[in-house]
Amino acid sequence: MITSCTPLYRGPHFFERLFSCFFPIMLCRLHALLLAAAFFALIGTGSATRSSKRGLVYVPSSKHPDDGEIFVDNGSDLTWYYNYGYAETDLYDNTSLNFVPMLWGASDEDTSTTFLDAVEKLLDDGRNITHVLAFNEPDGGHSTGGSNVPADLAASTWKRQIEPLRKKGVKVGAPAVTSAPTGFTWLQNFFSECAGGCHPDFIPVHYYGNFEGLASHLGQVMATYPNMSEVWVTEFALAEEDLKTTQTFFNQSIEYLDRLT
């Protein structure tokens, strides 16, 4: 199954940057105005239907803190969200959106089990935590939003903080690498360092480019990791394009992802 995400924000100045995911297989970082317009164009045509695949990656706006309410308005087709962290967003407490915690990065100095403890506490409190994400673009540098985590450090951290959650019935996502060749290389090194000790249930995908490139990249990921039961698109976008081009890309991508099982 393929899942995906998008980014969106609504406020007095119309839309700022917004992150909303429309299947756990991608997350869009489109220009806010264009993405927002594309989102509502899709809703307006009646083609947006509620899907367990569709989710939100939420990044709050300090200028317009109430903007996130758009995602739980009546008619929203979103069913889950993540926020790059492991603490729930208060705005979505007691809503229909299920929270997906994320361990964003790792460091040599941190040998704790803070993430594991936090997720176990959520489970003990009765939260419906079914999936977790790990390591945001570990093959990328901090200047582009990556966590820049070496494969060996990621493997040891995974074994300590992520792998134990599988015994709790939680499905765990592989590290979310970039779509550059370095991403495939990093994952190969990661699994080598794991030495059989890491067992992700699904693989997240990030992609920035046109629809043909997105579809091709997904095919490459699925061919490389055929035993993964799910692919989640947790970031995707065709950035810096005009409104019509952005709408076409968005609608074409969503329709394509909806057809994948």
Which tokens hold the place of 91?
């705005």
**What's the average model confidence in pLDDT over 21-50?**
35
Quick one: pLDDT at residue 70?
85
19 within 8 A of 5, measured Cβ to Cβ: yes
Q: Which DSSP category does 25 fall into?
A: B
**pLDDT at 16 > cutoff 70:** no
CA dihedral 190, 184, 140, 35 (to 10 degrees): -130
Which residue has 């839309």 as its token pair? 15
**What's the average model confidence in pLDDT over 129-138?**
97
3 within 8 A of 261, measured Cβ to Cβ: no
* Per-residue H/E/C for 87-124: CCCHHHCCCCCEECCEECCCCCCCCCCHHHHHHHHHHH
The DSSP annotation for 147-192 comes to: ----HHHHHHHHHHHTGGGGGGT-EEEEEE--SSHHHHHHHHHHHH
State whether the Cα torsion 121-127-131-135 is positive or negative. Answer: negative
**pLDDT at 93 > cutoff 50:** yes
CA angle (134 as vertex; 197, 193 as ends), nearest 5:
30
CA angle (236 as vertex; 128, 240 as ends), nearest 5:
140
**pLDDT at 41 > cutoff 80:** no
**What's the average model confidence in pLDDT over 118-129?**
97
250 within 8 A of 40, measured Cβ to Cβ: no
Question: Which domains are present in the chain?
Answer: 2-259 (3.20.20)
- How many whole angstroms separate alpha carbon 35 and alpha carbon 26? 14
Tell me, yes or no, if the pTM score tops 0.85: no
Quick one: pLDDT at residue 75?
73
Residues near 18 by Cβ (< 8 Å), separated by ≥ 6?
A: 6, 7, 8, 9, 10, 32, 35, 36, 59, 67
Which residue has 């979103």 as its token pair? 78
Summarised one tens digit per residue, pLDDT across range 213-240 is 999 999 999 999 999 989 999 999 999 9
Distance of CA 51 to the CA centre of its chain: 16
Residue 27 backbone dihedrals phi, psi, to 5 degrees: -140, 130
